[in-house]
Amino acid sequence: MASILSLRKVCKTYGENTKNPTKVLFDVDLEFEESSFNAIIGQSGSGKSTLLNIVGSLDRPTTGDILFKNESLAKLSKNDLAAFRNRSLGFIFQFHYLLPEFTALENVLMPYRISKQPITDEVMNRANELLDIVGLGNFKNKLATNLSGGQQQRVAIARSLINNPAIVLADEPTGNLDSDTTEKVYELLREINQKFKTTFIIITHDRTVAEKTDRVIEIKDGRVYLDISK
């Protein structure tokens, strides 16, 4: 299997030039394979979100580098990083950040509107297909505010896939959902992983969820503590 993403000795210190710098990540080396389905677990405050934000180029490491398909991200300018993010990454967060007064379909298309890319027939078809895949075929024209929590998170999942990203990064995507809905959302993510060969890296505090993934990485005090592949 080919590597899609590598972290090389990634360190992160917040407030580096202040009186109280906080070192959060210590020499994290990780390799992610194409099409793999990975869970990151660890106690609150262990550095999981910091790590995911760095992996997603929303934040830069203090030292160390990230390679995407063997290309260093450290060399990219801010604009090039943003372009890379739009092209290659999808994000799902605990709070879905849908726009309540827009329909499910409009929310899925939002990344295009925001980046002022034209919504071609192909993009429109993809948005419709994604909403079908996440089981919202009959809810496309409903306002987000009128959907249940689980349905809203499904819209957010469809939105994260609109650019056909190579990697989807999710930070506690089911943190707000009940256990039945959580299970369904994970089945859905797994289906998408298999159908589109999308690589998933998912932070979860739910061990039963983590057990269903290909690999579980446990972060403890900013270090990789366990790394178990099945």
Ligand X SMILES: Nc1ncnc2c1ncn2[C@@H]1O[C@H](COP(=O)(O)OP(=O)(O)O)[C@@H](O)[C@H]1O
Binding site for ligand X (CB under 6 A): 14-15, 22, 24, 42, 44-50
Min dist. Cβ of residue 88 to ligand X (A): 22
46 binds, among Mg ion, ligand X, none (CB under 5 to 8 A by kind): ligand X
Provide the mask over 105-134, with x wherever binding to Mg ion is found by CB under 5 A and - wherever it is not. Answer: ------------------------------
Query: Which residue's CB is nearer to ligand X, number 46 or number 152?
Result: 46
The C-alpha R_g of the chain, in whole angstroms, comes to 18
45 binds, among ligand X, Mg ion, none (CB under 5 to 8 A by kind): ligand X
Work out the number of other CB atoms within 10 angstroms of the CB of residue 19: 5
Least separation in angstroms between residue 197's CB and ligand X is 27
Closest to ligand X by CB, 49 or 151: 49
Q: Which is nearer to ligand X, 12 or 126 (CB)?
A: 12
- The least CB distance from residue 205 to Mg ion, in Å, is 9
Q: Which does 22 bind (CB under 5 to 8 A by kind): ligand X, Mg ion, none?
A: ligand X
Q: Supply the minimum distance, in Å, between the C-beta of residue 66 and ligand X.
A: 16
Nearer to ligand X, 49 or 198 (CB): 49
**Residues, the chain, total?**
230
Choose, by CB under 5 A, the member of 36, 46, 49, 103 that binds Mg ion. 49
Measured from the CB of residue 2, what is the shortest distance to Mg ion in angstroms? 29
CA nearest to 163, candidates 109, 203, 217, 97 = 109
DSSP string, 120-152: -HHHHHHHHHHHHHTT-TT-TTSBGGGS-HHHH
Distance of alpha carbon 105 from alpha carbon 126, whole angstroms:
10
Nearer to Mg ion among residue 109 and residue 170 (C-beta): 170
**Inter-axis angle of helices 179-196 and 121-133, to 10 degrees?**
140
**Pairing of β 63-68 and β 71-72:** antiparallel
The first and second tokens of residue 27, run together, are 């020499």
Beta strand 167-171 pairing with 199-203: parallel
- For ligand X, the closer of residues 58 and 143 by Cβ is 58
Report the candidate in 72, 71, 82, 158 with the shortest Cα–Cα distance to residue 123.
158
Contact call for residue 174 and Mg ion (CB under 5 A): no
| CA quadruple 53, 58, 59, 65: dihedral sign | positive
| Residues engaged in binding Mg ion (CB under 5 A) | 49
